Amino acid sequence: MGIGRRAALGVLGGGLLATTLLRSGRTRLQPGLVELAFDAAPGIGTVLGRRVPMWLYGGRFPGPLLELAEGQTLRLHFSNRLPQPTNLHFHGMHIPPTGRADNVYIQIPPGERFTYEFTPGPGTAGTYWYHPHCHELVARQMWFGLAGPIVVRGPLDAMPELAAADERLVLLRDVALEGEGLAAFTVGDWHKGKEGPHLLANGEYEPEWRMRSGTARLRLVNVANARHLRLALSDRRPMFLIALDGQFLERPVDLEELLLAPAQRAEILVPFEDGRPIELLAPHYNRGAPTPRLRNRFVLRMRPPPGASPLPLPRRLATLPGLDPAAARVVRRIDLSMFLVNGRRYRYERVDIRGRLGDLERWRVRNLGTMDHPFHLHTWPFQIHRRNGRAPAFRAWRDTVALRPGEEVELLVPFRDFAGRTLFHCHIAEHADRGMMGTIEILPDGGYLDPPPPPICFAPRGDLVPRLP
Ligand SMILES: [Cu+2]
């Protein structure tokens, strides 16, 4: 397979993640095509200073960075060298759920390859991530190391207040070691979701960074299977939220604390006011499950450059359209309970929601369970209209919404583009694997979709735990 010079650049872009460097303005993307290749394969990763057998994208943990600009095409030659089927889901991306794009029905048997290809459109600049989506195998493949970042750049990234900030990707997940590697799954893990007592940032434990600007721009991504992260800065300094999930907000919002549920992203600006180091902290969060307490003193520490002063905050960011709830043609109720959506367990053959392309829908999602469940819809971003009857403080596009026990959120979901069949589910990976998921099909009037190919992902095949070679 011919991989050109851009592929090499793409892979190099991934390499930058290992040193946690990713600064806007430095990366020159050519118009057109970004092409790269990597595999999912058993390998050796370093976790808490120990070399452990893992499953890795491109031999790295986290996986290589996929970085492109709005309107550029990503062509990704992906090989499966795992002992079981796998595939890729491009979490949060507003791209087709069909063909070679974000198609969860693609199943790649061991030893085979597949070329993904898609073009994120205007207004999609943001932080995303990729992970496997082979039903019943997702939780294990993610826990043992399979996740990687995606950054889409757009015109807003060039504003001086953002471009001059020291930009860092921060992929967050917890780990537990046991025996010779990452802890194996126990029966209880499927119910509560698998967690560990150590939180890693880009695979590192309590890293300390020398910053290059008076303001940090952190692209935070929660790639944990189940751990919900409460995030705050040392001395309760304010942080300035500029983006949630894949989209910019209208203006920065100052926060003392942020809850980042599994799969969610948040971009924050951190000004270094007084030249002192700032730590990102993860205070304990009770999600209604017996979560092991983190042993971290901090998640990461940033040391500002001497004499640097913070950048001015951007006054305006994106312009987000309001959605009129009265224009919703369909109102749906979606009840979440353990392993079930609307009382039913996921079935590959069954379509749970049929909608029409062009419609705005209003979804009332309730958490009837006793622990938090993060609800994720593929392909179509939504706005939260109300949470427990109250309008949110600011407008945002989301792809994953966290629900505490007893909560109800009303979502406005515009199906403006991209027909096809895909999934909505709880993003505690173990819950989705156990059936807390449903199928949605959005078609133009009179449209028809062939049934998906027979499943190969179900039921464990081959090794369920990575082994030392
Ligand atoms: Cu759940």
Residue whose C-alpha is closest to residue 104's, from 148, 134, 137, 129: 134
Centre of ligand 1 to C-alpha 431, Å, is 5
Centre of ligand 1 to C-alpha 249, Å, is 27
User: Which is it for the CA torsion 303, 195, 59, 399, positive or negative?
Assistant: negative
Determine the average pLDDT of the residues in 321-348: 96
Q: Which residue's structure tokens are 């305006």?
A: 316
pLDDT over 50 (residue 291) = yes
Look at residue 454 in the predicted model and tell me its pLDDT: 85
pLDDT over 50 (residue 11) = no
Asked whether residue 13 falls in the same domain as residue 149, the answer is yes
Asked whether residue 286 falls in the same domain as residue 344, the answer is no
Query: How do strand 330-337 and strand 360-367 relate by DSSP bridges?
Result: parallel
Centre of ligand 1 to C-alpha 438, Å, is 13
Look at residue 433 in the predicted model and tell me its pLDDT: 96
Q: Is residue 92 part of a domain?
A: yes
Centre of ligand 1 to C-alpha 390, Å, is 23
Interval 414-451: pLDDT, tens: 999 999 999 999 999 999 999 999 999 999 988 888 88
Of the pLDDT bands very low, low, confident and very high (cuts 50, 70, 90), residue 259 is very high
Residue whose C-alpha is closest to residue 432's, from 262, 291, 284, 287: 262
- Residue 403: in which H helix or E strand, if any? strand 400-403
Asked whether residue 13 falls in the same domain as residue 121, the answer is yes
Q: How far does the chain reach from its first CA to its final CA, in angstroms?
A: 27
Average pLDDT, the chain: 92
Q: Is residue 241 part of a domain?
A: yes
Asked whether residue 230 falls in the same domain as residue 203, the answer is yes
pLDDT over 60 (residue 8) = no
Q: Is residue 75 part of a domain?
A: yes
Asked whether residue 165 falls in the same domain as residue 292, the answer is yes
Radius of gyration of the chain (CA): 21
**Residue ranges with strand state E in 136-262:** 148-153, 166-175, 177-178, 181-182, 198-201, 204-205, 208-210, 215-222, 229-233, 239-244, 247-255, 257-260
Determine the average pLDDT of the residues in 164-183: 97
> In sequence order, what are the beta bridge partners of 149?
129
Window from 206-210, 262-266, 272-276 with minimum mean pLDDT: 272-276
Centre of ligand 1 to C-alpha 336, Å, is 8
Structural domain count of the chain: 3
Q: Is residue 308 part of a domain?
A: no
Asked whether residue 142 falls in the same domain as residue 165, the answer is no
Asked whether residue 295 falls in the same domain as residue 399, the answer is no
pLDDT over 50 (residue 64) = yes
SS3 185: coil
Of 105, 136, 155, the last residue of a domain is 155
Centre of ligand 1 to C-alpha 339, Å, is 7
Look at residue 26 in the predicted model and tell me its pLDDT: 35
Centre of ligand 1 to C-alpha 326, Å, is 30
Of 125, 155, 185, the last residue of a domain is 155
Give the CATH number for residue 29: 2.60.40.420
- Dist. CA 302–CA 345, nearest whole Å: 45
- Dist. CA 219–CA 154, nearest whole Å: 15
Q: Is residue 353 part of a domain?
A: yes
DSSP letters along 21-88, please? ---TTT--PPSSEEEEEEEEEEEEEEETTEEEEEEEETTBSSPPPEEEETTPEEEEEEEE-SSS-B--
Centre of ligand 1 to C-alpha 229, Å, is 15
Centre of ligand 1 to C-alpha 340, Å, is 9
Centre of ligand 1 to C-alpha 272, Å, is 37
Centre of ligand 1 to C-alpha 403, Å, is 9
Asked whether residue 418 falls in the same domain as residue 393, the answer is yes
Centre of ligand 1 to C-alpha 288, Å, is 11
Asked whether residue 9 falls in the same domain as residue 147, the answer is yes
Look at residue 1 in the predicted model and tell me its pLDDT: 29
Asked whether residue 187 falls in the same domain as residue 286, the answer is yes
Interval 193-246: pLDDT, tens: 999 999 999 999 999 999 999 999 999 999 999 999 999 999 999 999 999 999
Q: Is residue 296 part of a domain?
A: yes
Asked whether residue 189 falls in the same domain as residue 93, the answer is no
Query: Could you tell me the residue range of the domain that residue 365 belongs to?
Result: 325-443
Q: Is residue 313 part of a domain?
A: no
Determine the average pLDDT of the residues in 333-360: 97
Q: Is residue 438 part of a domain?
A: yes
Determine the average pLDDT of the residues in 243-266: 98
Of the pLDDT bands very low, low, confident and very high (cuts 50, 70, 90), residue 31 is low
Asked whether residue 151 falls in the same domain as residue 12, the answer is yes
The CA-CA-CA angle for residues 13, 14, 18, to 5°, reads 115
